[in-house]
A and B are shown apart, each in its own frame.
Chain A
Amino acid sequence: MSWTRKLVPSYFSGAVLAAIGFIVGSQYVWHVIGGDNWDLNSPGQSGNFLEQGFLAGFVLMTICWFIGIGALKYPFTWMFGMKDPDHAEELRLAGKDDGLIRYFRFTTDHKVVGIQYLVVTMIMLAFGGLGAMMIRTELLFPGAWAFPKETYNTIVTMHGMLMILTVISFFVGPFGNFVIPIMIGARDMAFPRLNAISIAFLIIGMAVYAFIPFMGLGDPLTQGAGVQTGWTIYGTLADQTGIGMDALGVAVFLAGVSSQVGAINLITTVITMRAPGMSYTRMPMTVWGAIGSSILSALGTASLTVDVVMILLDRVFRTSFFYAATAGDYANNGYIGGGSAWLTQNLFWFFGHPEVYLLVLPAFGFVMDATSVFARKPLFGYKTAILGLFGVVVLSFLVWMHHEFVSGFLPELRGFYMASTELISVPTGLIFLVLLGTMWKGRLWMTVTMAFCFAFIWSFLIGGITGVYLSDVPADVQLHGGMFVTAHFHYTIVGGSLMGFLGAVYYWFPKMTGRMMDSKIGWISFWGIQIGFNGTFMAMFYVGLQGMPRRVADYSPLFAGGNFVASISAFLLGASVILYFYNVIYSWKAGPIAEQNPWGAKTLEWTVPTPVPLENFEKIPVVTSGPYNYGEPVTPSAVPIPNVEAGPALG
């Protein structure tokens, strides 16, 4: 019985059931309801069985996945008023004494979920990076020499969307789940089951995402396989592009739910689960960054969800949210029209802009924390930093139309959006003030993490300042839709979030895995990443100024020089990221055993033993001072214990 009990339920049984669910759902629609009628153009609700079949397949696949991993057991026992799970059951769910298999299960231990998130997001990052390498290969020379144009468009779309989904979850997923509960002195997240559900949503979302390049292969009626809309999935084009769009829509929906669920969980955890004495002004900045990001996710993501739902309905059930018919002859296509193309732009960017800060806020928080630790100085203005973070959160809902300066929608408002966009550099600037002030006269310990913090300052500064160029309407009218924009956001995202993430992995690796990462490989990959990254995207700024458009497989020879440099540097970047990945895998297996507090930090996660026991704390700590008070001298031998009294667990 033992192995069946271990494997069922687990992700393996979930995968098997999900596969069955997909086959049953899709085949049922295609063959039974649709009667093998592949006429794509029959109007009205009965047509388009191909896409309806895929949609049914994905929906059933998701449901079966949740059944297969055992996530629905609790809701159903609750629903029918059966016995609440007892203690032994809860322990089993948390993965006690379960060995390796608990990492492949629906589990309520926040640390296991954190590790699951880390692995899943790093795999996503690798695939997104693979897409980036394919893009750069195509752009190595003018002319569509490596891929057909429709394939290139699909690659760009998949790279953009996958990377965004990755970056949305690669901070609040791994570290938000693993580290933050310990940081605030909690024994788990507020809703351990929701926690497990949010990673399960992400995994099934990514499984659906993997369908994209294969859907519509060899179908003469679609415009090539995949989805050729760019990550912005403007409804007008999404309504008519390849049927990969259906998979993309479902995947984005699922990933969106995952991030909303995670956000709800994180905010509730921080509000209700703090240890005694852990007042709001004693929380490390990482927590604040993750909170800001979660707020944006909770409030903004729904806009994207509405957008993809409308696209899916437009495609599969022929509604007309985005379909603006211009002449009567469309009527015989089954559409009447009445939709608006501006609606899709506004829905997308109302999500899109808060989302970009969602990507970077956790990195802000982490970089401030790490700077303080490695400078052995308290934050230069704790309240200033919070003001900066929350200024960004509030303002980020007021600027989305700067992506639509040339769309023709309410051009009278461009002045306002220019002002709000420029205003957002003030709170962002406060973060820089805090960082510089914290370093000043510190005892800078140059670890790889600290080096990534410096890289963050450098690259985000460039990304931010070029953002201010784009916020200026006359300049944006010229630069919009070109490689300058692409370079701007890679400088902010790769240079901000990704650098922060790489630093954070290095920083928390000892706590999460019990081993140190190799510092020599770390330094080599650091320099490779810096040189490759700056080379790639500086060259991209250059071709952007020259006037190279985005999302073109084939460009004029005028831009050949800059693109060649960019591609070669990108390959260096790719190789260095692979080296970093190698470092992670190698050190996980064979790195030196880490001490409890290798960096001498004062936050709570370093006060618990490594590996962190189930339930984290023997006794809930009572916190009596802030997270950055390096009051006593720090010596390498005597690991500093922060000012924490082990108090009695309160009733």
Chain B
Amino acid sequence: MEISLGGQGHDVAGHASHIDEEGKVRLGMLFYVIVDVMFALFLITAYVFLRGVNVNNLWFPDGTKNIDVMQTTIQTGILVASGLCFILAHWAVRAGFGGLVKLGITLAAILWIVALVANIQYMGHLPFTQSGGGFASMYVLFTGYHIYHMLLGLMFVIGITVRALQGRYTQEHHMGITTIGYYWYWVVIFGIIGYLLPILLPGPLH
């Protein structure tokens, strides 16, 4: 048992159990991600909605500067790289390459933290304030939500790295990697969505 969100391999009184503990934790994380995806879906809906109704033409008021695509591309790139390293580690642990697991996870974690710092720094230097119209508000919320994700994920990231370095993940038992993978991939996907939305659905409709 590598990650246990409170579940125990045995029950408290020490009975062995007929329950698939690993499956349980995987399922729990999956449901958590689903709840999170719903939250994100409502955010995206709100984005599309506000852009669609564009009340008083203030979705993207004249004179608003758009975001710096170069900057966001780099940030998203770092995050995607982190996700790729994680995939590598996941593959390595299944294939039984202990060293590669440590390397992949550590790299993924470092990239995650770099992306987080870059995001926070970028948040402070947006070309608009949160009060600058519908798009600005929405964009700040998206970025803020993403940063919140990455901060929460920091706990997983540190935990999984420590454990990988301790060599706790084996070919047979690496549920921690599988489960946290769900979260990791989801954050990367949300990062990509948040990156693409302002590019695909930018300024005003009309």
Interface residues of chain A, those whose CB is within 8 Å of chain B, are 43-45, 74-75, 78-81, 84, 87, 90-91, 94, 96, 108, 186-188, 190-195, 260, 263-265, 267-268, 271-273, 276, 298-303, 305-306, 309-310, 313, 317-321, 324-326, 334-340, 342-343, 346-347, 350, 614-615, 620, 649-651
Known interface pairs A298-B38, A337-B56; 9 further A-B residue pairs with C-beta atoms within 8 A, sorted by A's residue number: A80-B162, A94-B12, A188-B11, A190-B28, A303-B42, A310-B141, A338-B135, A620-B15, A651-B18
Q: What is the minimal beta-carbon distance from A638 to any residue of chain B, in angstroms?
A: 30
Residue of A whose beta carbon sits closest to that of B52? A340
Cβ of B205 within 8 Å of any chain A Cβ, yes or no, is no
Cβ of B50 within 8 Å of any chain A Cβ, yes or no, is yes
Q: What is the minimal beta-carbon distance from B21 to any residue of chain A, in angstroms?
A: 9
- Selected interface stretch from B1-9, B75-83, B99-107, B193-201: B1-9
Verify A347–B137 contact, CB threshold 8 A: no
Other-chain contact of B56, A80, A301, A338 (Cβ < 8 Å)? A338
Cβ of B158 within 8 Å of any chain A Cβ, yes or no, is yes
Given A84-B1, A306-B39, A310-B141: A336 and B6 interface contact (C-beta under 8 Å): no
Q: What is the minimal beta-carbon distance from A515 to any residue of chain B, in angstroms?
A: 26
Q: Which residues of A contact B23 (CB under 8 A)?
A: 272
- Selected interface stretch from B85-93, B108-116, B124-132: B124-132
Other-chain contact of A191, B28, B41, B159, B163 (Cβ < 8 Å)? B28
Given A90-B12, A268-B28: A649 and B6 interface contact (C-beta under 8 Å): no
Verify B28–A339 contact, CB threshold 8 A: no
Verify B158–A79 contact, CB threshold 8 A: yes
Q: What is the minimal beta-carbon distance from B150 to any residue of chain A, in angstroms?
A: 15
Verify A78–B159 contact, CB threshold 8 A: yes
Q: Which residues of B contact A75 (CB under 8 A)?
A: 155
Residue of A whose beta carbon sits closest to that of B34? A298
Other-chain contact of A273, B24, B159, B168 (Cβ < 8 Å)? B24
Verify A272–B20 contact, CB threshold 8 A: yes
Verify A614–B16 contact, CB threshold 8 A: no
Verify B15–A187 contact, CB threshold 8 A: yes
CA distance A193 to B54 in the complex (A): 45
CA distance A335 to B136 in the complex (A): 12
Verify B46–A337 contact, CB threshold 8 A: no
Cβ of B191 within 8 Å of any chain A Cβ, yes or no, is no
Given A188-B12, A325-B58, A338-B50: A347 and B130 interface contact (C-beta under 8 Å): no
Q: Which residues 33-61 in B have Cβ within 8 Å of A in the complex?
A: 34-35, 38-39, 41-43, 46, 49-50, 53-56, 58-61
Cβ of B151 within 8 Å of any chain A Cβ, yes or no, is no
Verify B35–A260 contact, CB threshold 8 A: yes
Other-chain contact of A343, B7, B38, B46, B131 (Cβ < 8 Å)? B46
CA distance A75 to B14 in the complex (A): 22
Q: Can you list the 7 inter-chain pairs with the closest CB atoms, starting with the nearest?
A: A193-B6, A338-B134, A650-B18, A338-B58, A81-B162, A319-B137, A338-B133
Cβ of B27 within 8 Å of any chain A Cβ, yes or no, is yes
Q: What is the minimal beta-carbon distance from A356 to any residue of chain B, in angstroms?
A: 18
Verify A340–B53 contact, CB threshold 8 A: yes
Given A187-B11, A298-B35: A324 and B55 interface contact (C-beta under 8 Å): yes
Residue of B whose beta carbon sits closest to that of A90? B12
Other-chain contact of B49, A79, A108, A340 (Cβ < 8 Å)? A340
Other-chain contact of A337, B15, B17, B133 (Cβ < 8 Å)? B133
Q: Which residues of B contact A614 (CB under 8 A)?
A: 12-13
Given A90-B12, A337-B58: A190 and B131 interface contact (C-beta under 8 Å): no
Other-chain contact of B137, A108, A190, A276, A338 (Cβ < 8 Å)? A338
Other-chain contact of B55, A45, A81, A195, A338 (Cβ < 8 Å)? A338
CA distance A393 to B20 in the complex (A): 28
Q: What is the minimal beta-carbon distance from B60 to any residue of chain A, in angstroms?
A: 8
Residue of B whose beta carbon sits closest to that of A648? B18
Other-chain contact of B46, A310, A317, A338 (Cβ < 8 Å)? A310
Q: Which residues of B contact A267 (CB under 8 A)?
A: 31
Cβ of B70 within 8 Å of any chain A Cβ, yes or no, is no
Q: Which residues of B contact A340 (CB under 8 A)?
A: 49-50, 53, 55, 134
CA distance A265 to B6 in the complex (A): 11
Interface pairs (25), CB distance under 8 Å: A75-B155, A78-B159, A81-B162, A84-B4, A187-B11, A187-B12, A187-B13, A188-B12, A190-B28, A192-B6, A264-B35, A273-B19, A310-B46, A313-B137, A313-B141, A319-B136, A320-B131, A325-B58, A337-B56, A338-B60, A338-B135, A343-B50, A614-B12, A615-B11, A651-B16
Verify B131–A326 contact, CB threshold 8 A: no
Q: Which residues of B contact A44 (CB under 8 A)?
A: 129, 131
Verify B3–A78 contact, CB threshold 8 A: yes
Cβ of B67 within 8 Å of any chain A Cβ, yes or no, is no
Verify A74–B55 contact, CB threshold 8 A: no
Residue of B whose beta carbon sits closest to that of A622? B18
Q: What is the minimal beta-carbon distance from B30 to any residue of chain A, in angstroms?
A: 9
CA distance A271 to B54 in the complex (A): 44
Cβ of B97 within 8 Å of any chain A Cβ, yes or no, is no
Q: Which residues of B contact A649 (CB under 8 A)?
A: 15-18
Q: What is the minimal beta-carbon distance from B160 to any residue of chain A, in angstroms?
A: 9
